Chains A and B, each alone.
Chain A
């Protein structure tokens, strides 16, 4: 049984269809990624799944409980890490966690024990009595993550968990998230960071304009849309027309991106030999999820 299931989930604001008929299933103990450009509907989808925003249409089940009737039970087993900092600035770091634990009815002693535990998990142990405004941006983000674990959630919902973190902190967070996954915590991860999705997610859904365009493991998606490697040509404007003609005549799958052309699904090197006069302008590199992302959602700005 999937741990999260949505059926024909739709969210409509005044004249904007934010989420358009989304049906998906998240399996227990997997990390499920939601990728998409700004305004794709990721946050709206997450807000519905975390029971803070009612769907316009459709249903959500978490552990078999319909959210329309069991939102309180479901919220008990969710850990939510929001994109925007909503830590309580009137309280210290430790008080933030204790107060949050109280919302979940966790007894005082247990709350204290768990608070200190999650603080040290995210290397904030020496900040317990600091005020929120004394924390750096990265510390606040780690505290939000720590707070999301206070109720030992079965499902962790993360909205851009490493945005604004330095590389050290980012790797720390990634490491902790994979540890949690191996302990059986299901993760629903919203991100714009393709590397993050590749590293952490078992499956990703690429969203665009409220719909899920494609779904699969990062590897599957790469093979499906770009192949395992991408050939890149750096091209001058004069050569452009000629090269594109040549690519077309060879029946190759390619995209234009500024001063570059990306060629996909190349199986043999011969397919690209002789395309350019200067061989140093033709390069090959491993495919990334970003290539998939661009192929599916286009290269122009969306907002």
Chain B
């Protein structure tokens, strides 16, 4: 594996420019949807569920919504978005004919995906705060967690993108990996409500530690296991980031 260079920033800048040129076609979906889910589930379902661990239901789900939609942002960006750039627009081919390497392109895509997570996470956090769902000042660290989470999910997504034959393959990625995490990572229900086998599985999928970390920062309640959660996120991030540099190189240098 070859490392990437600072030149990755050029790819990041390219994606940023395109995003801010076309943001109105994409951004509302990523902001409106989580807000609708938060309010509909929080107030609607919340009226029946009442308190969870001494909290209002809407307070319980707010951190999970932040973590999930940060995940969705990086995942969409680095699957469909990256695939279109790579295969249909041939943008990567154009870029690697300049002083940038495949590694720079890959890292640029990942950090751009992570930036999308950061933006999504932050916007939902601000809106949640406006609804008085953010009691602790520790919540200012949430954008950093969203960014780290974004690097992790963008790396996993790019790894998948680098091996799929066609754009249709992403249906599997979302229905079998991303969407189940949305429901089984403690976003809407405490993990303890699941059967033991699901709980065990939940603990090893990457969204769970992020949900717990985000929830702890919003509530200002910390436990020792959160260090384990953070360590897990970092390990998965380094692992998938490195792997994606290798597999993307293999895909693009034929």
Contact = CB atoms under 8 A, between A and B. Distances in A.
Contact of B93 (A52, A54, A102): A52
B94 interface: yes
A87 B89 CA distance: 7
B97 A80 contact: yes
A71 B98 CA distance: 10
Given A13-B254, A53-B254, A86-B91, A99 B17 contact: yes
B101 interface: yes
Nearest to A11: B254
A198 interface: no
Nearest to B5: A72
Given A82-B94, A86-B93, A91 B21 contact: yes
B190 to A, nearest CB: 42
Given A82-B94, A86-B93, A88-B94, A75 B17 contact: no
A50 B99 contact: no
B253 to A, nearest CB: 6
A84 B17 contact: no
Interface in B1-56: 7, 10, 13-14, 17-18, 21-22
Contacts of B91: 86, 88
Contacts, number: 61
A95 B98 CA distance: 16
A102 B17 CA distance: 12
Contacts of A87: 94
B2 to A, nearest CB: 11
Contacts of A100: 94, 98
Contact of B97 (A78, A99, A102): A78
A125 to B, nearest CB: 22
- Interface centre among B7, B14, B99, by most chain A C-beta atoms within 10 angstroms, is B99
A89 interface: yes
B17 A91 contact: yes
A76 interface: yes
B93 A82 contact: yes
B95 interface: yes
A88 B90 CA distance: 8
A9 to B, nearest CB: 16
Contact of A75 (B90, B99, B254): B99
B191 interface: no
A103 B89 contact: no
A80 to B, nearest CB: 4
Interface in A96-132: 99-100, 102-105
Contacts of A82: 93-94, 97
A95 B91 CA distance: 14
B246 interface: no
A72 B101 contact: yes
A52 B254 CA distance: 8
A4 to B, nearest CB: 16
B119 interface: no
A269 interface: no
Contacts of A52: 93, 96-97, 253
A115 to B, nearest CB: 15
B178 interface: no
A153 to B, nearest CB: 11
A50 B99 CA distance: 11
A90 interface: yes
Given A53-B254, A82-B93, A84-B90, A104 B18 contact: no
Nearest to A144: B94
Interface string A119-154: 000000000000000000000000000000001000
Interface string B81-94: 00000000111011
B230 interface: no
Contacts of A80: 97
A104 to B, nearest CB: 6
Contacts of B94: 82, 86-88, 100
Given A82-B93, A84-B90, A89-B89, A103 B17 contact: no
Interface in A46-103: 50, 52-54, 71-72, 75-76, 78, 80, 82, 84-91, 95, 99-100, 102-103
B226 interface: no
A93 to B, nearest CB: 14
Given A72-B101, A104-B99, 9 more contacts: A85-B90, A86-B90, A86-B93, A86-B94, A87-B94, A95-B17, A99-B17, A102-B10, A102-B13
30 contacts: A13-B254, A50-B97, A52-B93, A52-B96, A52-B97, A53-B253, A53-B254, A72-B99, A72-B101, A75-B99, A76-B99, A85-B90, A86-B89, A86-B90, A88-B14, A88-B91, A88-B94, A89-B89, A90-B18, A90-B89, A91-B18, A99-B13, A99-B17, A100-B94, A103-B7, A103-B95, A103-B98, A103-B99, A103-B100, A104-B98
Q: What 4 A-B pairs are tightest by C-beta distance, nearest first?
A: A86-B90, A103-B98, A86-B94, A90-B18
